[in-house]
Amino acid sequence: MGGAGAPPLRSDARAPQRRLVASFASTFDALEAERLCRAASVPGRIIPLPAQIRADCGLAWVLPAEDAARQAFLAALAGRVQPVALTELAL
């Protein structure tokens, strides 16, 4: 698995933007979400789990905050992975 597929969603600490962050119960779920999103060309990328969501370790998936992106993301997961939460943050 490499860089092909969905374009990365870069963060810029100097100009945070609203994003949706999907958190997961396990690393496996985060990577399965990545695989499904890449297969469906849904934009997003893996990031470290933000402390604003949970002071913890782990991986999360960040995607644009728009409704269409949320719908595409959930459609890509197709119920095969259940995010613990979808949280809007400035990243």
Partner 1 sequence: MIYLNNAATSARKPPCVVEAVARALTSGAGSSARGAAAADLDAARTVFEARCALAELFAFSHPERVVFFANATQALNTAIFGTVRPGDHVVATAYEHNSVLRPLALLERTRGARVSYVPVARSGAIALEDFDRLITPGTRLVAVSHASNLTGAVLPVAEVARMAHARGALVLVDAAQTAGALPVELDALGADLAAFTGHKALMGPQGTGGLAVAPQVEVEPLFCGGTGVQSARDRQPDTYPEHLEAGTANTPGLAGLAAGVRFVQEQGVEGIRAREEALRARFVSGVSAVPGVRVYGEGDGMGHVATVALNVGDADSARVADALAQRWGIATRAGLHCAPRAHEALGTRGQGAVRFSLGFYTTADEVDAAVRAVAAVARELA
Q: Name the H helices within 20-89.
A: 27-39, 67-77
CB 21 within 8 A of CB 89: yes
Minimum CB–partner distance for residue 12 and partner 1 (Å)? 17
Minimum CB–partner distance for residue 67 and partner 1 (Å)? 26
- Exposed / middle / buried, residue 12 (Cβ in 10 Å: 0-12, 13-18, 19+): exposed
Complex with partner 1: residue 18 or 80, whichever CB lies closer = 80
Minimum CB–partner distance for residue 27 and partner 1 (Å)? 4
Binding site for partner 1 (CB under 8 A): 1, 25-29, 31-32, 35, 46-48, 54-59
Distance from CA of residue 41 to its chain's centroid? 13
Complex with partner 1: residue 60 or 72, whichever CB lies closer = 60
